[in-house]
A and B are shown apart, each in its own frame.
Chain A
């Protein structure tokens, strides 16, 4: 910015004739986000004022009610036509209220709701000193293995802060896919990332690993955010605005008047291209696309399993939502530039995830690589650049998130003396010992593998169909090859569970409370229903596939 520009800012701001207009905020249309964030703030107050004994109940209740109410608000808005005819941009151009936003918010809220149930589970670990314990550290600040940790466990402390933290994260995720300018996008990114870093560090067992995961996630996340922010700056320099619509206009060439303050940079294509690449990189980091995926296995493995399930599902939904909006609203004019690059990323993501997963020996790492491969499949739908591409991605995200939350909930059940038994060798013969749990997990694995009559098949089919119709036939071929490779390791787990002899010192399956049962039950139900009768939900996703600009 030149000195003259700064000066002009000074003078205009000091001009008494120019008043700052009061912002117009459509509270009703933002209500899902507001409810969740509001409940998170109340949750912080609960930590301060409610006695320790009853905090767990108050927090869990508050979180569940807030998420249910927010979901009801989303349904209300969708029923009111805000997803279709009344779609528009709210909050002074900061937030879009349209079909994709409402659909993804609904998915995030439902996933968050069932994930919160696993957060609240307190029957899996044996009682410590007569207190029921959940998956989270007694006192996050105490050094692992220290006396203060033992004292905290003995006193029956629990980290009930996880509930408001999760609510903050969900609040950020709700804004992320509906952000309509780059700054809102960035703030939403930070709002949902920071609580997740914290949540990752809170495991009750294997705390050092959990803390290591959190630090890695934080460092790499900060690194990726820096790229994003720099990309945003470059895009501002290119377009003279951070608003999606205005950038799109400049990209299209429909706006010719150049802001004198940005005369040096505006319309400079190099800025646009580099900026787009950097912003996209930040989003690709969040979805876990190769080569920005390296954090995924370590963090998925180290984080408390309920948190892993939550973030594996909800983060992906939010980040793909934002990526869709960026590519379809801001950059349709330059799709010939970004499509080939995304092609490449989708290919290495699908193949990379599937191939490396083959040699994994830990179930959580296996699922992490599987999630990478799935990110690649979804990218194939993103690349389609057709309305079908949008709706297929929406459907895939809905299907995938429930399978993921359910699968990680099952992982919390298989335990031995050291907590969760995540090494695959321990899962040998699980089908003999606990046929029901093994069968449920097998359903999830089949859905991951995309076997017909599960939601995974319907989702994969929709995405590949959209990609093929969008002219990406070669990508579909590679996608199918990757699916075949991926099927190998999913089926291998099934074979291991059902056709191997159980080990003598094998893990036991803990009997969960109705909370986790609900999570798993919902996961199975959604998986099967979306597999048997996907059409209704495909239609729903179709109706919700128009972005407002």
Chain B
């Protein structure tokens, strides 16, 4: 059974190779092949899952060793996989949602002439993401980490003819480099401290506090930096909004459901390292809490439906990071929210894509309105996703978010109160901005306008290949949370890997739930008053200072420009100066002297066999003499 693990990665990898190298003759079947291989990976995942369920909770860890890449004394770079409950959860999420989005893309990308390449990239992404979660050591995880970064870059810039898409891809790539740097430093630190990359020994050493507190904190902070890059957490959040330039299925799969949650995976997987460093954990919860509010505020001001959802993604991942930073109190709930979020956010994005599909690719919600009549399926599925994300009682988000808020309070002390309040405030803002999106898109009067070429949009329901994945995801959005929570199923499933403790809650769970309900009603009500009771202006009003700042992503790009770009330019200029005068002088001097030597030696090769023979004779005499000399010495 263990031998199937490699197939999980191999199937989409094969798809990527075939689709990207196969050339135009695969254009007609490429999308089907890609979807089939994604589905194959899902089926393998389900088979492994069934097998895992049949075992005791303690021996549910499967490993498969493929090969070692040049083992040198003390340096063991293994290509081997580890499938435990945590990886299994991700495998099912990635391949399940991934397969649905492949199906959706068949319809969504139907008229794109580069569709085969699109599916090739999607398969590449699946393979890399599966490698990331299945690796049994940090080095292999790093390979997957870079792989998803590459796939994300390629897919954001998929419509590279649009300068905005090309720029967005570059931005995502550059910002992610900062995080990747953190991961590589963390991996190197681990190797120098513990002498290995493998999860088992590294985490065990961290549990025993080997290597000293400062080093462990350093490793943990570098891991956090990596997580911030990949999961768009403050301060490396700026790329996610622009990443919405990619095709919508990409936004749903990579920038909502799976890849952006890799940071959460990294933190939870490295739990022992964080547990050993309370300082680092404090930084993690601060990052989570700040991002939670940051994303939510940005989400309130955006008129672009995808960017509003992107802000929401950032904010929801903030919840997960917050939970992960709480330590054993929160790990399980971080992952549980990650899974339910995967369902409803992917569903919301697919719904947004369906709306855009019917509206000539219009993304401005101010030019939507009243679409519920024209797109009933989209309306219902999107609506269920909406109810799930705001935490409507009984739906997925209700269970998973509530647990995180409870866990935040359970942290204890002032810290617990602050974190709990921030999480509650976040829930209120979530209700506000999601209600706003819902009302502006599906309710009110229609505000459509002809586009630049005079085409009036004719909103219509999307084809089956698009609606069916939306329906499936909507079902998940409704029931997943309840299924996981009743009888603490998810808790028992994941506990052997992540451990769990209850903390000491200052207020009872019922109180927290009640408070959550109150803020939900307040948030949604506020949005209704503002957008439901009066017509939405087609041109955005000027708005308050906060609104204007939020529209500009709370000035993140201005900040980056002033601090990083300007500062960076100064730094580069001085470095370039040093490089030109000092380094280049040495390098060019060396190169010139080697080149000059080369020119002179080359003259020895004059083409005459007699000269060659003399050279050989001289050489022979020399080695004879040298051999004799060696004996004499």
Show the binding face of A for B, using Cβ within 8 Å: 215-216, 219-220, 223-224, 227, 269-270, 273-274, 276-278, 280-281, 285, 290-292, 294-295, 297-298, 336-338, 340-341, 344-345, 352, 355-360, 458, 461, 465, 485, 488, 532-536, 538
Contacts and interface: CB of A to CB of B under 8 A. Distances in A.
B613 A220 contact: yes
A536 B613 contact: no
B627 A338 contact: yes
Interface in B37-89: 67-72, 79
Interface of B: 67-72, 79, 591, 594-595, 597-599, 601-602, 604-605, 607, 609, 611-613, 615-616, 618-620, 622-624, 626-628, 630-631
Contacts of A270: 628
27 contacts: A216-B612, A220-B613, A220-B616, A274-B628, A277-B620, A278-B620, A285-B616, A290-B619, A291-B616, A292-B615, A292-B616, A294-B612, A298-B607, A341-B626, A344-B626, A355-B597, A355-B601, A356-B605, A358-B594, A359-B595, A359-B598, A461-B70, A485-B594, A488-B591, A533-B79, A534-B70, A535-B69
A358 B616 contact: no
Nearest to B67: A533
B616 A223 contact: yes
B627 A281 contact: no
Nearest to B599: A359
Nearest to A227: B620
A281 B605 contact: no
Contacts of A216: 609, 612
B631 A358 contact: no
Q: Which 7 A-B pairs have the closest CB atoms?
A: A291-B619, A294-B612, A277-B624, A358-B598, A359-B598, A277-B627, A341-B626
A128 B605 CA distance: 36
A475 to B, nearest CB: 16
B605 A297 contact: yes
A358 B620 CA distance: 27
Contact of A532 (B69, B71, B612, B616): B69
A294 B605 contact: yes
A79 B613 CA distance: 45
Nearest to B596: A359
A273 B601 contact: no
B70 A273 contact: no
B631 A337 contact: yes
Contacts of A538: 70
Contact of B630 (A220, A337, A532): A337
Contacts, number: 106
Contacts of B618: 291
A337 B628 CA distance: 8
B70 A458 contact: yes
Contacts of A340: 626, 630
A221 to B, nearest CB: 10
Nearest to B77: A535
Nearest to A273: B627
A6 B38 CA distance: 83
A356 B602 contact: yes
Contacts of A360: 602
A471 to B, nearest CB: 16
Nearest to A298: B607
B592 to A, nearest CB: 11
Contacts of B69: 532-535
A525 to B, nearest CB: 13
Q: Which of A344, A345, A358 has the most CB of B within 10 A?
A: A358
Nearest to B611: A294
Contacts of B595: 358-359
B626 A294 contact: no
A292 B619 CA distance: 7
Contacts of A227: 620
Contacts of B630: 336-338, 340-341
Contacts of A344: 626
Given A281-B619, A465-B72, A535-B68, A273 B624 contact: yes
A357 B591 CA distance: 13
A532 B67 CA distance: 10
Contacts of A278: 620, 624
A467 to B, nearest CB: 14
A399 to B, nearest CB: 13
A220 B604 CA distance: 16
Nearest to B66: A533
A360 B631 CA distance: 39
A281 B615 CA distance: 12
A274 B591 CA distance: 39
Contacts of B627: 273-274, 276-277, 337-338, 341
A277 B609 CA distance: 22
A227 B623 CA distance: 12
Contacts of B71: 535
Contact of A277 (B598, B613, B623): B623
Nearest to A345: B623
Given A219-B609, A273-B627, 15 more contacts: A215-B609, A220-B612, A220-B613, A278-B624, A290-B619, A294-B604, A298-B605, A337-B627, A340-B630, A341-B627, A359-B599, A488-B591, A533-B69, A535-B71, A538-B70
B534 to A, nearest CB: 59
Contacts of A290: 619
Nearest to B618: A291
B602 to A, nearest CB: 5
B601 A352 contact: yes
A311 B170 CA distance: 47
Q: Which of B601, B604, B609 has the most CB of A within 10 A?
A: B609
A535 B77 CA distance: 11
B598 A355 contact: yes
Contact of A536 (B67, B605, B616, B624): B67
Contacts of B597: 355
A235 to B, nearest CB: 13
A298 B605 CA distance: 9
A358 B611 CA distance: 22
A372 B604 CA distance: 15
A165 B602 CA distance: 33
A356 B631 CA distance: 33
Nearest to B612: A294
Nearest to A280: B623
A224 B616 contact: yes
Contact of A273 (B67, B598, B628): B628
Contacts of A220: 609, 612-613, 616
A294 B631 CA distance: 29
Contacts of A280: 623
Contacts of B602: 356, 359-360
A270 B631 CA distance: 9
A352 B178 CA distance: 42
A139 B618 CA distance: 38
Nearest to B606: A294
Contacts of A274: 624, 627-628
Nearest to A348: B619
Contacts of A295: 612
B147 to A, nearest CB: 14
Contacts of B591: 488
A380 B67 CA distance: 28
Contacts of B70: 458, 461, 534-535, 538
Nearest to B72: A465
Contacts of B619: 281, 290-292
Contact of B620 (A281, A352, A461, A536): A281
A340 B595 CA distance: 28
A294 B628 contact: no
Contacts of A223: 613, 616
A273 B623 contact: no
Contact of A356 (B67, B601, B609): B601
Contacts of A281: 616, 619-620, 623
Contacts of B628: 270, 273-274
Contacts of A485: 594
Nearest to A532: B69
Nearest to A462: B70
